[in-house]
Amino acid sequence: MFSLQKLFGKSNVFFPLLQQSAMEAQHSVKALRDMFSQSGGQASIDEFSNTRRKDKKITEQINEALCRSFVTELEREDIEALSVALYKIPKTVEKIAERFMIYRRKIGGCDFSKQLGMMESSANIVVEMVNELCVKMHLDRIKAQNAKMQEVEGAADQLMLELLRELYADESDPVRVIMTRDIYDLMEKVIDRCRDAGNVLSTIVLKYS
Closest CA to 140 of 186, 69, 202: 202
Domains: count for the chain: 1
Residue 45's CATH number: 1.20.58.220
Residues of the chain above pLDDT 70, percent:
90
Residue type for 192, please? D
- What per-residue confidence (pLDDT) applies to 164? 94
Per-residue burial over 49-82, b = 16 or more CB atoms within 10 Å of its CB, e = otherwise? ebbbebbeebbebbeeebeebeebbbeeebbebb
- The stretch 147-158 carries a mean pLDDT of 95
The answer as to whether 7 is a domain residue is no
- The stretch 165-193 carries a mean pLDDT of 94
Closest CA to 59 of 77, 86, 78: 86
The answer as to whether 4 is a domain residue is no
Sign of the C-alpha dihedral, residues 50, 56, 60, 62? Answer: positive
The answer as to whether 147 is a domain residue is yes
* Per-residue model confidence as pLDDT tens digits over 70-105: 667 788 899 999 999 999 999 999 999 999 999 988
The answer as to whether 27 is a domain residue is yes
* Per-residue model confidence as pLDDT tens digits over 98-139: 999 999 889 978 899 999 999 999 999 999 999 988 877 677
Q: Write out the residue range of the structural domain in which residue 58 sits.
A: 12-208
